[in-house]
């Protein structure tokens, strides 16, 4: 499966490794989603609750990418009844508005002079990837698997800001989410993994990197539609999504964790 680059606790690394294996098995089936953590289903119409539960049992985590808000509570209750820990995220989405907003950010906001932006690829040093993982995990954000971060597995990219000591102080990522032939979500990219070293917060690093990530996904892979999940009430994340031209609609992302695989009850914040 290529590079064995998985990060986090022992439990998190094991879940990411199983997710990568499931992606190899199911990646050609358009019902399934994968963006570098675990395989899920694009929505309930692509597989019933038993199928989602089976994915979570095998991997330790799985999610529906698009659930109508009025159906989310019933799905969460059903998952709880099966012994899983459900997680609900508001789904924020944007297309032309996101691209326009990203362009405005890039035109008006720059990284501080002591920082350099780097896109990860096959030649990126292990040290830079380890620095990225340490910083992101310290912020409670679980990095995607290394093959996705490096853009080796699917249309995807990860941008980092590096200081003069080669330390990663901020990051943002984007990846294809659903199968390219999925009738509803095939041309929609996941966007996120925004994290910044606490010592550098207030400098709008995530905003700048996030904007560049959106524009590079459009330029390199022709994605013009983006989505991300935000936990309800997470005001900082909601603010940056709004600044980036994404809006909260009538859909949620509903995931679940097997507590036997992840004692913390969730993959990432």
pLDDT in tens, 235-246: 999 999 999 999
Whether 161 is covered by a domain: the verdict is yes
CA 159 from chain centre, in angstroms, equals 13
Q: What pLDDT is recorded for position 1?
A: 47
Nearest to 64 by CA among 80, 82, 45: 45
Nearest to 35 by CA among 257, 214, 227, 170: 227
Looking at the predicted structure, is the pLDDT value of residue 180 above 50? yes
Instruction: Express each pLDDT in 18-65 by its tens digit.
Output: 999 999 999 999 999 999 999 999 999 999 999 999 999 999 999 999
Instruction: Express each pLDDT in 56-86 by its tens digit.
Output: 999 999 999 999 999 999 999 999 999 999 9
> Taking the model in full, what pTM does it have?
0.95
Give the mean model confidence (pLDDT) for residues 172-182.
97
What is the span of the domain harbouring residue 246? 10-257
Q: Virtual CA dihedral for 26, 65, 161, 126, nearest 10 degrees?
A: -20
Looking at the predicted structure, is the pLDDT value of residue 210 above 90? yes
Residues 157 and 219: beta-carbon distance below 8 Å: no
Residues 95 and 249: beta-carbon distance below 8 Å: no
The total number of structural domains that make up the chain: 1
Whether 2 is covered by a domain: the verdict is no
CATH number for the domain spanning 228: value is 3.40.630.30
Whether 78 is covered by a domain: the verdict is yes
Looking at the predicted structure, is the pLDDT value of residue 266 above 90? no
Q: What pLDDT is recorded for position 218?
A: 97
Residue recorded with tokens 């990418």: 65
Whether 119 is covered by a domain: the verdict is yes
Whether 5 is covered by a domain: the verdict is no
Tell me the pLDDT of the chain averaged across its residues. 96
Q: How confident is the model at residue 267 (pLDDT cuts 50, 70, 90)?
A: confident
Long-range contacts at 235-239 (CB < 8 A, ≥ 24 apart): 237/194, 238/92
Residues 214 and 226: beta-carbon distance below 8 Å: yes
Whether 264 is covered by a domain: the verdict is no
Query: With the C-alpha atoms ordered 211, 160, 118, 149, is the resulting torsion angle positive or negative?
Result: negative
Whether 34 is covered by a domain: the verdict is yes
Whether 268 is covered by a domain: the verdict is no
Instruction: Express each pLDDT in 192-209 by its tens digit.
Output: 999 999 999 999 999 999
CA distance 269 to 20: 20
Q: How confident is the model at residue 2 (pLDDT cuts 50, 70, 90)?
A: low
Looking at the predicted structure, is the pLDDT value of residue 166 above 80? yes
């Amino acid at each position: 499966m290529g590079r064995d680059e998985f990060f986090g606790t022992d439990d998190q690394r094991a879940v990411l490794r199983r997710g990568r294996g499931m992606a190899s098995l199911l990646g050609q089936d358009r019902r399934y989603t994968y963006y570098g953590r675990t395989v899920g289903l694009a929505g309930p119409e692509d597989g019933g609750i038993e199928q989602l539960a089976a994915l979570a049992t095998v991997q330790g985590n799985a999610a529906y990418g698009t659930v109508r808000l009025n159906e989310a509570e019933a799905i969460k209750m059903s998952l709880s009844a099966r012994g899983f820990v459900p997680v609900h995220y508001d789904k924020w989405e944007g297309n032309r508005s996101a691209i326009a907003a990203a362009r405005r950010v890039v035109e008006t906001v720059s990284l501080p002079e002591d920082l350099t932006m780097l896109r990860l690829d096959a030649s990126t040093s292990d040290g830079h990837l380890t620095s990225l993982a340490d910083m992101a995990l310290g912020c409670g954000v679980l990095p995607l698997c290394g093959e996705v971060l490096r853009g080796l597995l699917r249309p995807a990219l990860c941008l980092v800001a590096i200081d003069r000591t080669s330390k990663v102080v901020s990051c943002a990522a984007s990846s294809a989410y659903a199968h390219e032939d999925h009738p509803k979500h095939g041309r929609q990219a996941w966007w996120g993994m925004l994290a910044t070293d606490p010592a550098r917060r207030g400098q709008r690093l995530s905003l700048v990197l996030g904007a560049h990530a959106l524009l590079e996904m459009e330029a390199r892979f022709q994605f013009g539609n983006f989505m991300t999940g935000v936990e309800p009430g997470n005001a900082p994340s909601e603010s940056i999504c709004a600044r980036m031209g994404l809006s909260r609609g009538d859909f949620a992302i509903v995931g679940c964790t097997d507590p036997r695989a992840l004692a913390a009850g969730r993959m990432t914040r």
